Every structure is written in C-alpha cells, then in structure tokens.
Amino acid sequence: IEAATSRVATELTQAGGSSGDGPAVGIIMGSDSDLPTMKAAAEVLEEFGVACEVTVVSAHRTPERMFEYARSAHKRGIRAIIAGAGGAAHLPGMVAAMTPLPVIGVPVKPAGAHLDGVDALLSIVQMPRGVPVATVAVGNAANAGLLAVRILASAEPALLQRMLAYQEGMTQTVLGKAERLEA
Ligand code: RP5
C-alpha cells in the first residue's frame, strides 16, 4: 500500500496481493487529498490478499483520464472499481456510466468541508435507474473494500472462505466484549 500510495498522484500503480496476475480492483479518487480516507479500502484488500491499483482520477480536472480509465478498466482485468470523491462527487457515477464493472462509491468528507460529506453522499447515491453505484457511508472506505472482496468472493471459493473467517472473527470479538461486560 505504501508503494502504491506514494505514486498515487502520478500514474496507475499496483499494490500487493495474490489473486491473479494484475490488479483485480481499481481504487480511484478525485484528489490525492482523498487518500487518507481511501487508503482504508486498499488496506482491506491487502488484508484479503486481493491485488489492487490506486490512483487519482478527477471527473472535473481530468475528464479525459476518467473516460480512459472507465472504458479500459475491464479490458485490463479489473473486476470492481472503488471510486471516492468529495463535494460535487461526480466521479463514481460518471465511471459507472462508462464501465460494465460494479462501481462502489465512497463519499469523502474533505478537510474543512462545510457540509460534512452529505453533499458527496447525495451526489453519489442518487443515481438514475440503469446506472448503479453501490454507495457506502461517508468516509467508510473500509466497507468499500469489504464489498469489493465479497463481489470477487462470489466467484472465488478461497476468497469466500476468507470472508467467512473474517465474519466469524468479528462475531467472536463482539461476543468476547459482551462476556467481559456481563462478568
Ligand atoms: C473533490 O474535491 C475531491 O474528490 C476532493 O474530495 C475535493 C477537494 O479536492 P482538492 O481541492 O483537495 O484537490 O473533487
């Protein structure tokens, strides 16, 4: 992840992982200022051994780059796209309009934002029929990573087992806390 994020503002990069040759998930964001939020998605994917690429694609500042990314991702072997943006967050929806891949949108709350990320949430979630974006909670890039894992896991038995183990781990953690509380 460190290697991927250090080059994030310049070009497509690949983070570690073991599922296949190239990255299976593309993580894109409107600005490198979104990285502190979006890196949680890359961390989850790394935890599950899913290879990803991390880069900046701005719907407003680099529209041609957005077209190129969205139109080519599936041809490069990407199987799901996580797209985060703040403010007038058009990136996830526009990418979804141009790719056949599942797109997971992350509303980002930029530092010093006046609207608490609600502007980004509404920009991302209110998609018209026919162009779906699976939208997670404001700032919850970890859930975007987990959803991408689940999408891939539906066709990868080994990944499915890792997701089941992750869920069981969560259950045991909560039960442990409940036991301690009740003791
Ligand atoms: C959005 O504007 C980006 O996704 C970011 O959340 C926000 C601020 O971008 P910068 O001005 O920090 O580059 O497009």
- ipTM of this predicted structure: 0.96
Rounded to the nearest angstrom, the distance between the alpha carbon of 179 and the centre of ligand 1 is 44
Give the tens place of pLDDT for each residue, 86-135: 999 999 999 999 999 999 999 999 888 889 999 999 999 999 999 999 99
Residue 176 lies in a domain: no
What CA–CA distance (Å, rounded) separates 99 from 102?
A: 8
3-state helix, strand, coil in the chain (%, to 5): 50, 15, 35
Per-residue pLDDT at 21 = 74
Residue 148 lies in a domain: yes
Residue 7 lies in a domain: yes
Residue 174 lies in a domain: no
- Give Cα separations from 163 to 18, 156, 159, 170 (angstroms): 15, 11, 6, 11
Residue 51 lies in a domain: yes
> Is 26 exposed, middle or buried, given 0-12, 13-18 or 19+ CB atoms closer than 10 A?
buried
Give the tens place of pLDDT for each residue, 26-83: 999 999 999 999 999 999 999 999 999 999 999 999 999 999 999 999 999 999 999 9
Residue 134 lies in a domain: yes
Give the tens place of pLDDT for each residue, 141-168: 999 999 999 999 999 999 999 999 999 9
Residue 169 lies in a domain: no
> Is 64 exposed, middle or buried, given 0-12, 13-18 or 19+ CB atoms closer than 10 A?
exposed
Q: How confident is the model at residue 24 (pLDDT cuts 50, 70, 90)?
A: very high
Residue 167 lies in a domain: no
Quick check: 105 and 89 in contact, CB under 8 A?
A: yes
CB of 85 closer than 6 angstroms to any ligand 1 atom: yes
CB of 93 closer than 6 angstroms to any ligand 1 atom: no
* 9 has a pLDDT exceeding 50: no
Per-residue pLDDT at 96 = 98
**Which CATH number belongs to the domain containing residue 87 in this structure?**
3.40.50.1970
CB of 92 closer than 6 angstroms to any ligand 1 atom: no
Side chain identity at residue 125, one-letter code: V
What total number of domains does the chain contain? 1
Q: How confident is the model at residue 14 (pLDDT cuts 50, 70, 90)?
A: very low
Domain that holds residue 52: 2-156
Atom 7 of ligand 1, residue of closest alpha carbon:
86
Residue 83 or residue 9, greater confidence? 83
* 1 has a pLDDT exceeding 60: no
CB of 105 closer than 6 angstroms to any ligand 1 atom: no
Among 14-18, 134-138, 147-151, where is mean pLDDT lowest?
A: 14-18
Helices (H), 51-117: 63-72, 91-98
Rounded to the nearest angstrom, the distance between the alpha carbon of 32 and the centre of ligand 1 is 8
Residue 141 CA to its chain's centroid (Å)? 6
Per-residue pLDDT at 8 = 43
What lies within 8 Å, CB to CB, of 27 at 6+ separation is 38, 41, 42, 45, 52, 53, 54, 55, 81, 82, 84
